[in-house]
Structure 1
Amino acid sequence: MKANGSTKKRGWAGVLTLLGSTLSNQTGAAVASLGFPLIGPVGVVAVRQFVAAALLLPIVRPRLRSFTRHQWWPVLLLALVFATMNLSLYSAVERIGLGLAVTLEFLGPLAVALFSSRKVGTAVAGLFAGAGVVIIAWPEPSTDYLGIGLALVAACSWASYILLNRSIGHRIPGIEGTAAATGVSALLFVPVGIILFLNYPPSFFAIACAATAGVMASAVPYVADLIALRHISTHVFGLLMSVNPVFAAVIGMLMLGQVFGATEWLGTMLIVCANVSVLLLGGPDKDDPAPAQASTGIRIRA
């Protein structure tokens, strides 16, 4: 009985840790958007990348000199994916709001899960997700198609991240490859940051917003995810990750005044239900690391 009670307590600790991680992640993204009017999404992403690399590299300490050419090429591709994900997602947040951008971005891991699954039932989940996208993108005078397109680019980038991480995981131990890609991605933004900041000197507030986002949306969730995965299974982890769009919508409303209409809520809930359904129906095959990789990915980049 004591063992069962202890297991339940650890399970609840893992759940609460992950929910706190999700709250920190989306709050960090909301704080980042406050810097958009001053340095734009590019400037915010540049600072975020610098902060994420500065925090992650000392923790992981990847042995870069030991990497072979066979190991380096997927790391470099992942670095490009990181840069694309960050820039497209934050640009989408600026145009269509935090909630919708995060919701559409979740189509990336969902697509990987759908294509990885051999179960017919998951096709229904795909229809739910497709219906959600149609509802969100239904033509209206205020529909921002560029913003929706940018969010879908972020979704494709997230899917690419999952697949590349699968390849890197077979070539480089632990998360050294992911950490190395984060560092390379930060280097890619150095010339961009120099040009941008020379032409538009950033204020302390803008830098503070971007740096805070780097901590809240990278460092805190990264550590919290590792702790949570010690207490809950990757299956439960993936299910709980599906609340990210809902958290993003609520935080966007409370912090940024981005109010969802009925159609946006309906589309969001359909996509969330699609993610949950894939996992409940069995989702990816047992050897598919999509849920855990997807969660780690969003922590590092957004």
Structure 2
Amino acid sequence: MIRSDSPLAGRPGRGLAVISASALSTQSGAAIGSLAFSTFTPIGVVAARQVVASVVLCAIARPRFWRFSAGQWRAVALLAFFFAGMNTALYSAVDRIGLGTAVTIEFLGPLGVALLSSRRGRDLFCALLALAGVVLLTRPGPTSDLLGLGLAAAAALCWAGYILTNRTVGQRVPGVQGTAVATLLSSAAMIPIAVVILWNVTLPPEAFLYATAAGLLATAVPYALDLIVLRHITALMFGLGMSLNPLFAAVVGAVFLREDIDLLGWTGVLLVVLSNGLTLAGGARAGLGTGPRARTSLSVSG
């Protein structure tokens, strides 16, 4: 519910604009981070992003992890695994098949969770739309980068696991403390990899700037925007805004990274966006996965 004293009250367009800016920041961060792939590698960029995410979330949540029980730690550790796996697989896929294609496939993860949480007949149509969109975009064949497509699919599976595990963590750990500690664990696990990269490769200064920008734009900025706007807009509007991510990824990839997507590919992207929008909008009306925990799963991921 939008509060009457909020600057977004009675102005749904402003709320959607803020959520869209969050999505655009996320994809711009990924695009800038990809500029460091050739020297820092995708895993190195992911490590930088994880560190930024852990700093931002821990500063906000101030988790009292020393009070966690064994059951809480198990859930948080599994969440950390999915978080690290999701971003590592996604950035590795971006390096091979491009930002627009990788993000579009990755969004099958939250779409799948929403579809499995619903019993509405319309969602079968949405699933077919998404499948048709991915086929049009990727058109797998003998010359396709199957490893890249597989990495994007792995990112989708990890995102689905992240959302489902985040719900469990939300039930066991108050607030977003569990999510904050999960990002801390995932970044700690990836720091040794980044150290090895730094030890063996002499990186140009711009590589550090690109990696840091990726962390800020893909994590800190969207999380801050989402944290502000989620208090003032409906779950329906948030879901619709988030469904634009594949489209923004394709546009950013085409404009800034010179990625070539033909007409059929753009049609595929739009079909996936439409499928996500219809599913998330219907889920919001039905109360499926629209609480703060579900929204956090989307806003700190992807």
TM-score scaled by length of structure 2:
0.92
SS for the counterpart of 2:140 is coil
Q: Matches of 1:13 and 1:262 in 2, distance apart?
A: 31
Comparing 99-108 with 188-197, which one deviates more in the overlay? 188-197
Q: Which amino acid aligns with 2:187?
A: A
Partner Cα separation in structure 2 for residue 4 and residue 183 of structure 1: 36
Q: Tell me what 2:277 maps to.
A: 276
Residue 59 of structure 2: aligned partner: 58
Q: Which residue of structure 1 lines up, in the alignment, with residue 83 of structure 2?
A: 82
Structure 1 residues 32 and 181: CA distance shift in structure 2, 3 A: same
Asked if 2 retains the 8 angstrom alpha-carbon contact of 1:104 and 1:155, the reply is yes
When the two chains are superposed, the root-mean-square deviation of aligned CA atoms in Å is 2.1
Give 1:54 shift: 2.2
- Report what 2:24 is aligned to: 23
Contact 1:56 1:179 in 2 (8 A): yes
Q: What is the 5 A alignment of 1:154-169?
A: 154-169=155-170
Give the Cα separation in 2 of the matches to 1:202 and 1:46.
15
**Amino acid aligned to 1:109:** P
Tell me how far apart the structure 2 counterparts of residues 5 and 196 of structure 1 sit (CA, whole Å). 47
Q: Alpha-carbon deviations, 1:215-258, whole Å to 9, x = none?
A: 11101100100111112111110011111111111111111111
* Residue 264 of structure 1: how far off its partner (Å): 1.2
Conserved 8 A contact 1:122-1:283: no
Question: Which residue number corresponds to residue 117 of structure 1?
Answer: 118
Quick one: which amino acid aligns to residue 14 of structure 1?
A: G
Kept in 1: contact 2:65–2:181 (CA 8 A): yes
Q: 1:237 to 1:161 in 2, by over 3 A?
A: same
User: SS in structure 1 opposite 2:300?
Assistant: helix
Contact 1:112–1:159 (CA under 8 A) maintained in structure 2: yes
Cα displacement (A) at 1:197:
1.2
Query: Which residue pairs with 2:204 in the alignment?
Result: 203
Bigger mean CA deviation after superposition, 58-67 or 273-282: 273-282
Correspondence for 2:152? 151
Residues 63-120 of structure 1 show CA distances to partners (whole Å, capped at 9, x for unaligned) of: 1011111111010001111111111000010111111111000000000010000111
Contact 2:93-2:152 at 8 Å conserved across structures: yes
Provide closer, same or farther for how the CA distance between residues 262 and 295 of structure 1 changes in structure 2, counting only shifts above 3 A.
Answer: farther
How far 1:180 moved relative to its partner?
A: 0.4
Cα distance in 2, alignment partners of residues 36 and 6 from structure 1: 40
Q: CA deviation at 1:4?
A: 11
The change in CA–CA distance for 1:202 and 1:297 in structure 2 (over 3 A counts) is: farther
Q: AA paired with 2:181?
A: A
Q: Report if aligned partners of 2:170, 2:293 keep a CA contact under 8 Å in 1.
A: no
Which residue of structure 2 aligns with residue 239 of structure 1?
240
Checking the alignment, whether the CA contact within 8 Å between 2:49 and 2:218 is kept in structure 1 is no
Q: Number of residue pairs matched?
A: 299
Please give the residue correspondences for 1:1-302 in structure 2 after superposition, counting only pairs within 5 Å: 8-140=9-141, 142-282=143-283, 285-289=286-290, 296-297=296-297, 299-302=299-302
1:99/1:246 contact within 8 Å kept? yes
Once the two structures are TM-superposed, the CA of residue 135 in structure 1 deviates from its matched residue by: 2.1
For residues 61 and 15 of structure 1, the distance between their equivalents in structure 2, rounded to whole angstroms, comes to: 29
Contact 1:86–1:154 (CA under 8 A) maintained in structure 2: yes
- 2:6, 2:232 within 8 Å by CA — same for their partners in 1? no
Matches of 2:142 and 2:166, distance apart in 1: 40
CA, structure 1 residues 212+76, in 2 after alignment: closer, same or farther (shift >3 Å)?
A: same
State the shift of 1:155 in Å: 0.4
Secondary structure of 1:117 counterpart: coil
Work out whether residues 110 and 160 of structure 2, in 8 Å CA contact, stay in contact via their aligned partners in 1.
Answer: yes
1:104-148 CA-to-partner distances (Å, cap 9, x unmatched) read: 000000000100001111111111111122223323464211111
Q: Give the Cα–Cα distance (whole angstroms) in 2 for the partners of residues 7 and 289 of structure 1.
A: 19
- Structure 1: state its 5+ residue gaps: none
Deviation at 1:53, TM superposition (A): 1.5
TM-score of the pair, normalised by structure 1: 0.92
* Contact 1:117–1:284 (CA under 8 A) maintained in structure 2: no
Q: Which runs of 5+ in 2 are unaligned?
A: none
Residue 144 of structure 1 aligns with an amino acid whose one-letter code is D
Question: What is the distance in 1 between the residues matched to 2:125 and 2:171?
Answer: 32
**Aligned mates of 1:293, 1:156 — CA distance in 2:** 19
